[in-house]
Structure 1
């Protein structure tokens, strides 16, 4: 079954995603530097690009940069005067991302803040009004990152949280996996949060069985 998931992703790519040597080079460079291969898939990257465009995003916040693959998709969705801030805990990852962003031609739109996301977000007291926020960092931090997204986003902002299904682990109340516990806490948090309209979508594909949460800040 998983082979068919990957085959469907390949079919989608062949028909709906243009050949993109730049992004292929980014993934190759990530491999050279031995970054973990946990980037979003090409189809998911295109989805982020389209969602950011449909939201009319001019200011984007990303929590979790890795090698900048999703960052590039999001930066491409910005207008000429758009701006993206991305947070990365690992300095080496950030250096690879900067190289990739510059090669992709979007480096002038992107600022990388290096350090724990909790700390970087705390420094952004006055940097509010983001139109689009993508959360894809340490899953244990998701409840906190969502609270910060609500603080930093404008009314009507789109918030995406990746990897929320975790091969079905989301529905395991007795799990001892801190990533699953935090994801369940995120859902409980949003269940009671009047400022958020949200849903989640399961996905299968080259990245396996997972899913993402999509929310609108009132």
Structure 2
């Protein structure tokens, strides 16, 4: 995954994490088939030196459940990191295929190891390279009929290119599909208009442009939890 946080934000509220821990232990107990492998993925990724930018378990399950409810069979992801979110979606949806893009070669290696350990090599494809370049190639393949249209897109990469990723992804989705862009609230800095940090500006840009884009209906949801205070943009493409 490309994402970096240039700023050090305020300490997280311990109650947010406590609620996440309690609620998730009830909704996804250790007896679930994918529970241990998902824990192992986070442990392996940390041991291999990957940054702790993966979704929280609750967020991972949320997008996986969305794919189930929406009947999604093909997902496009920008920003693989250690493969945690891709494995969540695939492991919860046995008919789901995930195509995920990652710029950092070391992250690609760890993600492929995690995906292999999860037994999902046949359903998660990791493409290495620049997000814009690889998305352009994937779009050409979709247009040529070599790949199917996608039913869900998850963008969790470098924030500077948020809008460009959104534009490219929009051309490859089925009608009424969702494009989700993560980390757009950035501890509320998105409304500090004096903050010119590139990641904040990129988040602000995708919110503004998605709101004005014809054929797109979007909403930003603020979130708190073990990942702190942030939020994501959900956009339905008609």
Render the CA deviation track for 1:126-164: whole Å, top value 9, x for unaligned.
325110100001111101011011111111111111101
Which residue is equivalent to 1:192? 212
Deviation at 1:78, TM superposition (A): 3.5
- 2:230, 2:174 → 1: CA distance? 28
- 1:76, 1:187 → 2: CA distance? 30
| TM-score between the two structures when normalised by the length of structure 1 | 0.96
**Contact 2:207/2:233 (8 A) holds in 1:** no
Equivalent pairs, count:
217
- RMSD of aligned Cα (Å): 1.2
Deviation at 1:79, TM superposition (A): 3.9
Within the alignment, does 1:98 sit opposite 2:112 as a pair?
A: yes
Within the alignment, does 1:12 sit opposite 2:26 as a pair?
A: no
Deviation at 1:174, TM superposition (A): 1.4
| TM-score between the two structures when normalised by the length of structure 2 | 0.88
- 2:40, 2:171 → 1: CA distance? 36
Aligned partner (choices 155, 162, 165) of residue 145 of structure 1: 165
Render the CA deviation track for 1:40-78: whole Å, top value 9, x for unaligned.
000101101101111111110000000000010111244
Which residue is equivalent to 1:60? 75
Within the alignment, does 1:27 sit opposite 2:42 as a pair?
A: yes
**Contact 1:85/1:110 (8 A) holds in 2:** yes
**Contact 1:58/1:79 (8 A) holds in 2:** no
Q: Which runs of no fewer than 5 residues in structure 1 stay unpaired?
A: none
Which residue is equivalent to 2:87? 72
